[in-house]
C-alpha cells in the first residue's frame, strides 16, 4: 500500500519536472509553434497575460512552499516516539495572532491578485487604436469561422490573414466578434486570451503578432456536436504577402471554360443557397464563401487538408470528416462530383 503511494508520488514529481522543462523550452521559443501554446506568447496581449500568470504562479508557489514546509516540519517534529507514543502535543486555543494571520494574509493576497488582474485587463482593453490598425469582423457559425475585411470588401472563411506587427512599425489587427447562432469563443493562445462571440452582443479584441507564420487556435466554447473541429488558422504575413493576398481575394471567381460543366452542376444544385462565389448566381451566406476556396490550406474548418480527394469526399459525405456537420450530403453521382471538384479546384 505505502509502496504504491510512493511510486505514484515519484511518477507525479517526474511528470511535473518534465512539464516544467517542456514549459521552459517552449517559453524560450519565438514565433509560431506546431501546436497551440500559451507558453510562447507572440503578441502584446498574450505577453501581458503571460506576465500575469507568472506573477500568480509566483505567489501561489510561495504559498505552496510555506504550507508544505510547515506540514513537513510538523510531521517530523510531532511524530510519534517510543516509549511515549500516545503523548499529545500542547494544544493552542483562541490565539488572536494566529487567527489574524490566517485571515488578514489571505485577504491581502486576494486583493493583490484582483488589482493586478484588473490592471492587466484594462491595459489590454483600453489600449489606444492606431490609425494603421486593420479591422476584421469575425463571425462564428456552427461549425466554421467567417472573416470579413470591411476596408477591402473581402469575405473569407476559417483562415485569417493579418499583417505582421513589429514593435518598430506596429500594425495591430482589431477584431469585432459576432455570432450567427450560439456562443463561440475565439482563442489563438499565442496571440491573445479567449474572447466569446455571443449572439446580439458584439465583443472586441486586438492582436499584434510580432513574427510571420501560421498560428493555431480553435473555438474554446462548447457550441455543439462539432465544437472540437471548429479550428482556427491565423496567417501572419509580411506587408508584401498581405498586399498580394488582398489583391487576389478582391478578384471575382475564375471563369474557366474547361470546367463549365462543373460550374453548371454548382449553379443548378442547392450549393447556391448556402455558398457565395463572386461572379456567379451563388449568393448564399449560410456556408463559407467559396470564391477563393483553393487559396486555403484546409477545408471543413481545418478538419482536413484542401486536396481534390478530400474535397470529393467532403462533398459526397461531410460526416466522413465532421459527424454532426450542418452541411448535407448532396446526393450527386460520381460524374457530377468529379465535375464539381474540377470546377472548385480552379477557384484560387
Instruction: Name all domains of the chain by residue range, CATH numbers in brackets.
Output: 30-125 (1.10.287.90), 257-344 (2.60.40.420)
3 state DSSP class of 105? helix
Most confidently modeled range among 255-259, 262-266, 325-329: 262-266
Calculate mean pLDDT across residues 174-186: 97
Residue 245's nearest CA partner among 284, 212, 207, 197 is: 212
Q: How confident is the model at residue 1 (pLDDT cuts 50, 70, 90)?
A: very low
Max CA-CA distance within the chain? 100
The rounded distance, in Å, linking the Cα atoms of 71 and 258 is 78
Residue 340 has pLDDT above 90, yes or no: yes
CA distances from 203 to 18, 49, 113, 138, 175 (A): 38, 18, 25, 10, 8
pTM of the entire predicted model: 0.85
- Phi/psi for 24 (5° steps) reads -65, -45
Q: Are 198 and 183 spatial neighbours (Cβ–Cβ below 8 Å)?
A: yes
Q: Are 31 and 211 spatial neighbours (Cβ–Cβ below 8 Å)?
A: yes
- Phi/psi for 282 (5° steps) reads -75, 115
3 state DSSP class of 299? strand
Other residues' Cβ atoms within 10 Å of the Cβ of residue 143: 25
The rounded distance, in Å, linking the Cα atoms of 119 and 112 is 11
- Phi/psi for 14 (5° steps) reads -65, -40
**DSSP tag of 90:** P
Question: Tell me, what's the pLDDT at 183?
Answer: 97
The rounded distance, in Å, linking the Cα atoms of 280 and 122 is 46
Question: Tell me, what's the pLDDT at 21?
Answer: 55
The rounded distance, in Å, linking the Cα atoms of 186 and 140 is 8
The rounded distance, in Å, linking the Cα atoms of 236 and 211 is 7
Question: Tell me, what's the pLDDT at 330?
Answer: 86
3 state DSSP class of 161? strand
Which set of grid coordinates corresponds to residue 172? 495591430
Question: Tell me, what's the pLDDT at 12?
Answer: 53
- Numbers of helices and strands, H then E, in the chain: 8, 12
3 state DSSP class of 119? helix
Whole-number percent of the chain with pLDDT over 90: 73
Q: In whole angstroms, what separates CA 33 from the centre of its chain? A: 13
Q: How high does pLDDT run on average in the chain?
A: 89
Q: How confident is the model at residue 35 (pLDDT cuts 50, 70, 90)?
A: confident
| Of 31-40, 142-151, 218-227, 330-339, minimum mean pLDDT range | 31-40
Question: Tell me, what's the pLDDT at 2?
Answer: 47
Residue 82 has pLDDT above 60, yes or no: yes
| Of 83-87, 244-248, 269-273, minimum mean pLDDT range | 83-87
Question: Tell me, what's the pLDDT at 85?
Answer: 65
Q: For the sheet containing 184-187, what is the strand order?
A: 159-163, 231-237, 213-219, 184-187, 195-197
Q: Are 344 and 332 spatial neighbours (Cβ–Cβ below 8 Å)?
A: no
Residue 8 has pLDDT above 60, yes or no: no
| Of 243-247, 317-321, 344-348, minimum mean pLDDT range | 317-321
Question: Tell me, what's the pLDDT at 179?
Answer: 97
Q: How confident is the model at residue 321 (pLDDT cuts 50, 70, 90)?
A: confident
Residue 91 has pLDDT above 90, yes or no: no
Residue 118 has pLDDT above 90, yes or no: yes
Residue 36 has pLDDT above 90, yes or no: no
Amino acid at each position: 500500500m505505502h509502496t504504491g503511494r510512493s511510486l505514484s508520488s515519484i511518477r507525479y514529481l517526474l511528470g511535473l519536472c518534465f512539464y516544467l522543462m517542456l514549459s521552459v523550452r517552449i517559453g524560450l521559443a519565438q514565433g509560431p509553434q506546431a501546436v497551440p501554446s500559451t507558453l510562447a506568447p507572440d503578441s502584446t496581449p498574450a505577453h501581458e497575460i503571460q506576465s500575469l500568470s507568472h506573477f500568480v504562479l509566483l505567489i501561489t508557489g510561495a504559498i505552496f512552499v510555506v504550507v508544505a514546509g510547515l506540514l513537513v516540519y510538523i510531521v517530523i517534529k510531532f511524530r510519534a516516539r517510543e516509549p511515549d507514543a500516545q503523548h499529545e502535543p500542547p494544544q493552542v486555543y483562541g490565539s488572536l495572532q494566529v487567527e489574524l494571520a490566517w485571515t488578514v494574509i489571505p485577504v491581502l493576497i486576494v486583493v493583490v491578485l484582483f488589482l493586478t488582474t484588473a490592471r492587466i485587463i484594462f491595459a489590454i482593453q483600453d489600449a489606444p487604436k492606431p490609425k494603421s490598425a486593420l479591422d476584421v469582423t469575425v463571425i462564428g457559425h456552427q461549425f466554421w469561422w467567417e472573416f470579413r475585411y470591411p476596408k477591402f470588401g473581402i469575405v473569407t472563411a476559417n483562415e485569417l490573414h493579418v499583417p505582421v506587427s513589429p514593435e518598430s512599425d506596429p500594425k495591430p489587427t482589431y477584431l469585432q466578434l459576432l455570432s450567427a447562432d450560439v456562443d463561440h469563443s475565439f482563442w489563438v493562445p499565442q496571440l491573445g486570451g479567449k474572447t466569446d462571440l455571443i449572439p446580439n452582443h458584439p465583443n472586441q479584441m486586438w492582436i499584434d503578432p510580432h513574427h510571420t507564420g501560421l498560428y493555431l487556435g480553435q473555438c474554446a466554447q462548447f457550441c455543439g456536436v462539432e465544437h472540437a473541429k471548429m479550428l482556427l488558422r491565423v496567417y501572419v504575413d509580411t506587408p508584401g504577402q498581405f498586399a498580394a493576398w488582398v489583391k487576389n481575394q478582391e478578384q471575382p471567381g475564375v471563369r474557366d471554360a474547361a470546367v463549365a460543366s462543373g460550374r453548371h452542376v454548382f449553379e443548378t444544385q442547392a450549393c447556391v443557397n448556402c455558398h457565395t462565389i463572386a461572379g456567379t448566381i451563388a449568393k448564399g451566406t449560410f456556408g463559407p464563401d467559396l470564391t477563393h476556396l483553393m487559396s486555403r490550406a484546409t477545408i471543413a474548418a481545418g478538419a482536413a487538408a484542401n486536396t481534390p480527394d478530400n474535397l470529393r469526399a467532403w462533398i459526397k459525405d461531410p460526416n466522413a470528416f465532421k459527424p454532426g456537420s450542418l452541411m448535407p450530403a448532396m446526393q450527386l453521382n460520381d460524374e457530377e462530383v468529379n465535375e464539381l471538384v474540377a470546377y472548385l479546384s480552379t477557384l484560387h
